[in-house]
């Protein structure tokens, strides 16, 4: 049986959140069909201007066996977007796996799909998951029953290989990792706030202060709607 994977697209998404997992899952095209879904089939630009075209509109999208949501700055306005949240809610209700990378987990949470689950996100807005009754976990990939979430941006490949192992077996996932030559050796040991120098962490917080405040306010509004 071919599994249906629905990957959400939206304006100002973070393309690496999606491109890393897409590359992994595309290696299983004999067992997995990928749909890039948005409200319409017009191309959308990622946060840096790279344009990618959806393959299906919401109205024509098949039911997902695996629902995936990336993050990016465009996540923020979608926290108040009833059409997108309703789409995620419908797709997630019967999906075999509900998944995300980075702030995509906040969209899942706003749709009510992470309440009562352990989940992760980018380290800067991670604590906002608690507004929705989710338990924020500062780990690279978090698996809680059929919810699989990845941390910030580059964790997408780790997330995808983890999910591939759950879907197709560890040996298949290992082969995909080898074929991708995924053998990370970063030039600096500062890719996490637990390892970066305090002054670099503070600079990152200061540089994104306005965005994180806007995210906090959007999360509080979305959480209040879920409770009402």
Percent of the chain with pLDDT over 90: 99
pLDDT (tens digit per residue) in 108-159: 999 999 999 999 999 999 999 999 999 999 999 999 999 999 999 999 999 9
pLDDT of residue 8: 98
Stretch 31-40: mean pLDDT, rounded?
98
Instruction: At 104, list the tokens.
Output: 């995509």
The catalytic position among 61, 78, 102, 222 is 102
- Encoding tokens for residue 78? 């979608």
The pLDDT of 216-225, averaged and rounded, is 97
Per-residue pLDDT at 1? 87
Q: What is the distance between the alpha carbons of residues 27 and 228, in angstroms, rounded to a whole number?
A: 43
- Measured distance CA(10)–CA(157) in Å, rounded: 20
190 labelled catalytic: no
CA distances from 96 to 5, 45, 125 (A): 10, 29, 27
The model carries a pTM of 0.98
What is the tens place of the pLDDT at every residue in 52-102?
999 999 999 999 999 999 999 999 999 999 999 999 999 999 999 999 999
Print the domain residue range for 70: 3-227
Q: What is the CATH number of the domain that holds 37?
A: 3.40.50.880
Q: Crossing angle, helix 170-180 and helix 155-168, to 10 degrees?
A: 140
∠ Cα 195 199 204 (to 5°):
85
Q: How confident is the model at residue 221 (pLDDT cuts 50, 70, 90)?
A: very high
Per-residue pLDDT tens digits for 117-131: 999 999 999 999 999
**What domain count does the chain have?**
1
């Amino acid at each position: 049986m071919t599994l249906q994977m629905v990957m959400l697209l939206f304006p100002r998404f973070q393309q690496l959140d999606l491109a890393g997992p897409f590359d992994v899952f595309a290696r299983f095209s004999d067992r997995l069909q990928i749909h890039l879904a948005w409200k319409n089939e017009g191309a959308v630009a990622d946060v840096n201007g790279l344009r990618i075209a959806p393959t299906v509109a919401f109205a024509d999208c098949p039911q997902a066996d695996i629902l995936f949501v990336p993050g990016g700055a465009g996540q923020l306005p979608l926290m108040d977007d009833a059409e997108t949240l309703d789409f995620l809610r419908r797709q997630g209700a019967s999906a075999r796996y509900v998944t995300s990378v980075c702030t995509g987990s906040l969209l899942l949470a706003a749709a009510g799909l992470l309440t009562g689950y352990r989940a992760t996100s980018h380290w800067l807005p991670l604590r906002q998951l608690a507004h929705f009754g989710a338990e924020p976990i500062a780990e690279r990939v978090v698996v809680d029953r059929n919810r699989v979430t990845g941390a910030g941006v580059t964790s997408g490949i780790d997330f995808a290989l983890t999910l591939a192992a759950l879907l197709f077996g560890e040996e298949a996932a290992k082969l995909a990792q080898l074929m991708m030559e995924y053998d990370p050796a970063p030039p600096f040991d500062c890719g996490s706030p637990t390892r970066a120098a305090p002054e670099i962490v503070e600079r990152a917080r200061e540089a994104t202060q306005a965005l994180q405040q806007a995210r906090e306010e959007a999360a509080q509004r979305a959480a209040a709607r879920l409770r009402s």
